[in-house]
Amino acid sequence: MAVVAVGRLTRLGSALAALTLATTTASAQTYGFATLPAGSLSHVISSAISKAMKERAGLNVLVQPAAGGNVIVPLVARGEAEVGLVNIMEAQDGLDGGLKDLRLIGAAQGLRTPFFVRKDSGMFKVADLKGKRVTMGFSAMRQIDQVTRAVLASAGLTEADVRPVLVPNVVRSADDFMAGNSDMFFFTFGGPKVREADATVGGIRPLEMDPNGMPAARKINPWGYLTDISPGPFYTGVDKPMQVYSFDNVMITSAKVPEDFVYKLLDAMEKSKGDIVAIAPAMAEFSPAFAYKQYGVPYHPGALRFFKERHLSPRPLE
């Protein structure tokens, strides 16, 4: 009997040790959040969401900077990073390009993306860029080149009407502008680089777009729309109400990622919104209703469960 009892205790001890090891391993697991380099708005947002995941859901999420969406999308679709933050054009192009495991978590926020110039440049409208040095190419962010061409088209301009300065991504666009190598740069409001450029060159302003040029812009990029903005701390260089070019920043994942992880991510974002906005003010418009829109990329089951529990239906794009 004593031998049997000892055997049972031994087996019980082994089971408890295995359970403890499994729990420790699970709690120590690190999840990847692929995003743009430091200095970008996407990096700020991803860092804020990762912090919320750690504090609210107890999940260790590590921000993984990448050169651009053409790196992030396949990385996430293959399951090599659990989450990614890219624009909707990059997500749709990834699915259309054969990444069938790509899934949406939801929209994070709308990107307000004008062309910025020096405040003393004498330029006020996109049309004023004719003959000027314009950052283009965006070899690591091909969809941004599409946006650049769309914005130029709104003013009746093409690549032939400007002097292209080839750059790999938006961070380099801002760096070249500050270095005096270009007459403008493309960036989203809220990015640290925008404030850096403002301080470096003695003031910047966003160029105004002509709403009548949007049909021409949509022929190049159907995902863009105009947003009304007003002067405020978030909108660097804006001194009067105006409209700026916009498109959505979305969170992506892979069909291989567990449902529970995606659900917890959205739940943590909802419950920690105040903390997220304190780090990334651009996330002020985030809500479960904002996140759930009608896109061509299918949603992850974890996201669908989250939205269903909140009695939400996908909203059409603006």
Judging by beta carbons within 10 Å of its beta carbon (0-12, 13-18, 19+), is residue 218 exposed, middle or buried?
middle
> CA 100, 299, 294 angle in degrees (round to 5)?
110
Answer whether residue 5 shows pLDDT above 70.
no
**Which CATH class for the 112-246 domain?**
alpha beta
Q: What is the CATH number of domain 29-111+248-309?
A: 3.40.190.10
Alpha carbon distance 100, 92 (integer Å)? 11
Q: What pLDDT sits at residue 39?
A: 82
At residue 151, the 3 state secondary structure works out as helix
What pairs with residue 65 in β-bridges?
A: 35
Q: Where are the domains of the chain?
A: 29-111+248-309, 112-246
Q: What is the DSSP string of 105-127?
A: EEEEEEEE--EEEETTS---BGG
Token pair for residue 47? 């860092």
Do the domains spanning 29-111+248-309 and 112-246 agree at the CATH topology level? yes
Q: How confident is the model at residue 26 (pLDDT cuts 50, 70, 90)?
A: very low
For residue 53, give both structure tokens. Answer: 């995941």
Rounded Cα gap, residues 317 and 73, in angstroms: 22
What's the pLDDT tens digit per position in 43-79? 999 999 999 999 999 999 999 999 888 899 999 999 9
Amino acid at 209: M
28 confidence band (pLDDT: 50, 70, 90): low
| C-alpha 285: how far from chain center | 14
Would you call 68 helix, strand, or coil by DSSP?
coil
How many whole angstroms separate alpha carbon 107 and alpha carbon 288?
A: 9
Report the chain's mean pLDDT, rounded to a whole number. 90
Integer Rg of the chain from CA: 23
The whole-model pTM stands at: 0.75
Please compute the mean of the pLDDT values over residues 226-233 and round it to a whole number.
93
Q: pLDDT-derived band of residue 272, with 50, 70 and 90 as boundaries?
A: very high
